[in-house]
Structure 1
Amino acid sequence: MPIKTQILDATSDGIAAAAEILRGGGLVGFPTETVYGLGGDARDDRAVARIFEAKGRPHFNPLIVHVPDVETAQTYAVFSDQARALAASFWPGPLTMVLPLRADAGLSPLVTAGLASVALRVPAHPVARALLLAFDGPLAAPSANPSGRISPTRAAHVLAGLSGRIEAVLNAGPCAVGVESTIVGLAGAPLLLRPGGLPQEALEAALGAPLSFGGSAEKPNAPGQLASHYAPEAGVRLGVTNPTPDEVWVGFGPDCPAAVLNLSRSGDLIEAAAALFHTLRLADAMAGQGGIAFAPIPETGLGRAINDRLRRAAAPRN
């Protein structure tokens, strides 16, 4: 039976109401600086199972656990010197670290997909931080959208995909970063498991070494590794400079005057990342029976995260 999904304002009363829903095993969509997350108590098997059910997410795909600070994160995972260095440099912020799980962590095994590691993040968004403090516990929170579809950067996006499946959404307006967190694996040698809102160059500078790419679509050890992900209804082509007449062309930079939509007319990758998922939704609504064509985007800085999301959006659908 469908649930009546509440829309809560991001006030002290709204945050308190959201925390109470979470304490009762309910699910709440909430804003982070990257995208809206779908939060549930990471210690509660039933709440975590409901996250998978609401999203239609495969159970072999692990979830990110959100916590308010480094000290709390260290109660759930074993931190190396490299992990402590990255936490000092980039938390709170759009960085997720996959670390060895503590034996006494007390998290639901559904969160880690049965792996011996856990993905942890300390978000920077003030509403996310206030919710974590009000709830006073770890929140498992993948993106608040049906699995494999376009990630949500506004409360309306959450409602479009999950209304009737979750208890509430905390509305705090658009997300500033617009693509999910960068994921680094530190259960062994440092690995870039997912490009995201923190550029690879910044991580490599902090580590003093280059990052190798890791991860598998068949056996994911972190979120966001499935081959087909972030998918609109329409087909997607990438690196297009001459779209067909039935395609919605999404440009990047000043050299695409004929583009119907543009991620950033000035060629600003930060602006493009923040606009990506909302623009993808607009293009999908405009495409009808046609497709969506994206202009080339540089493979540097945040461009890596944008291109990663677009490649998965364009991948063959299962």
Structure 2
Amino acid sequence: ENIQKAAQLLREGELVAFPTETVYGLGADAFQEKACQKIYTAKGRPSFNPLIVHCLENTQVEELAFLGQDAQKLAAQFWPGPLTLILKKRTPSLLPSIVTAGLETVAVRIPLHPTARALLKAFGRPIAAPSANRSGFLSPTLARHVLEDLHSKVAMILEGPPIEVGLESTILDLSEDVPILLRAGGLEIEKIQEFLGQKIFMNQTVSKIKSPGQLLKHYAPHLPLRFNAEDVDSEEGLLAFGSPLSGSKVTFNLSKTENLEEAAQNLFAFLHLLDERSDITGIAVQSIPEHGLGIAINDRLRRAAEGSKKI
């Protein structure tokens, strides 16, 4: 009945936060311009940063965008799941231009999380949803993260089974001649390369922001963060990986067994826990290997460190 209530709120142009397998999303009816404007206002998000449109199935995606050969193959293999595709949008488009930031492309994804799917089914239309947090700050993986960050700006927060991935979706741009990685995320790039049988290059130019997660200051805690730390100060909290460094006031270990999936799952929750403490002056993060999900974890930490530079 909560799902029905949430679907009704979306119809009325309200914002609903809901869990996905990646992080919590801040959802609005993708076809209502005023509702989508509320997302930008609530997040303090720049209007040139497009939204990801969540769909229940391929038929919904095909009403919004052209699914080329690569897109069809990737969709069959990895959807539902933590992969967002940037596709050429159909014209005239059902989507208000605010959703696509005025671009000729649209970012689409079919989520896997049962609560997200139940909401999409009850609502019957695509839902535009970035992460449910203020722009530039830590992503939410628990309902309370959303509540603490957005308070009264959201009409309802749905709860559901735990979030399994814990990192935002991988974003792949298929709107050009070759696939380009715009954001490392919850689906390892190696899996995509292996499946397509080709190397995928990372986007190096950010002239037009085609997808979320490309701004340098992003995913930042309030406390200053150092990553690839080889030592730790007695006033710092430690985010460890594997065997922890000694000397910190408090330690949270992303994965004692150096399991990258476990580390991804814990990343934002542990950063929130450290950031909420009043007895430390900063966060030191041990180095994490640059492969598999480690690429996406390091991407988040690099941007978090950039956003929390000491003043």
TM category, shorter = over 0.9
- For residues 172-211 of structure 1, the aligned pairs below 5 Å read 172-188=160-176, 189-211=178-200
1:7 counterpart residue number: none
Residues 215 and 92 of structure 1, relative CA distance in 2, 3 Å threshold: farther
How far apart in 2 are the matches of 1:71 and 1:192? 24
* Alpha-carbon distance, 1:207 to partner: 1.1
Query: Is residue 124 from structure 1 mapped to residue 112 from structure 2 by the alignment?
Result: yes
Of 262, 265, 283 in structure 1, the residue corresponding to residue 256 of structure 2 is 265
Residues 46 and 233 of structure 1, relative CA distance in 2, 3 Å threshold: same
Q: Is the contact made by 2:232 and 2:246 (CA closer than 8 Å) also made in structure 1?
A: no
TM-score w.r.t. structure 2 length?
Answer: 0.95
- For residues 13-92 of structure 1, the aligned pairs below 5 Å read 13-92=1-80
2:306 counterpart residue number: 315
* Alpha-carbon distance, 1:289 to partner: 5.9
Give the secondary structure class of the aligned counterpart of 1:97.
Answer: strand
* Alpha-carbon distance, 1:153 to partner: 0.4
* Alpha-carbon distance, 1:148 to partner: 0.6
How far apart in 1 are the matches of 2:204 and 2:152? 33
Residues 179 and 74 of structure 1, relative CA distance in 2, 3 Å threshold: same
* Identical-pair percentage: 48
Segments of structure 2 that go 5 or more residues without pairing to the other structure are: none
2:274 counterpart residue number: 283
Q: How many residues align?
A: 306
Q: Is the contact made by 2:54 and 2:129 (CA closer than 8 Å) also made in structure 1?
A: yes
Of 264, 281, 288 in structure 2, the residue corresponding to residue 297 of structure 1 is 288
How far apart in 2 are the matches of 1:256 and 1:156? 30
Give the secondary structure class of the aligned counterpart of 1:162.
Answer: helix
How far apart in 2 are the matches of 1:72 and 1:305? 28
Please tell me the root mean square deviation across aligned C-alpha atoms, in Å: 1.5
1:226 counterpart residue number: 215
Residues 129 and 112 of structure 1, relative CA distance in 2, 3 Å threshold: same
Segments of structure 1 that go 5 or more residues without pairing to the other structure are: 1-12
TM-score w.r.t. structure 1 length?
Answer: 0.93
* Alpha-carbon distance, 1:215 to partner: 5.7
Q: Is the contact made by 1:195 and 1:305 (CA closer than 8 Å) also made in structure 2?
A: yes
Q: Is the contact made by 1:217 and 1:227 (CA closer than 8 Å) also made in structure 2?
A: no
Give the secondary structure class of the aligned counterpart of 2:157.
Answer: strand
1:4 counterpart residue number: none
Give the secondary structure class of the aligned counterpart of 1:73.
Answer: helix
Q: Is the contact made by 1:215 and 1:222 (CA closer than 8 Å) also made in structure 2?
A: no
* Alpha-carbon distance, 1:173 to partner: 4.5
How far apart in 2 are the matches of 1:249 and 1:303? 18
Of 186, 196, 203 in structure 2, the residue corresponding to residue 214 of structure 1 is 203
Runs of 4+ displaced beyond 3 Å: 215-219, 255-259
Give the secondary structure class of the aligned counterpart of 2:158.
Answer: strand
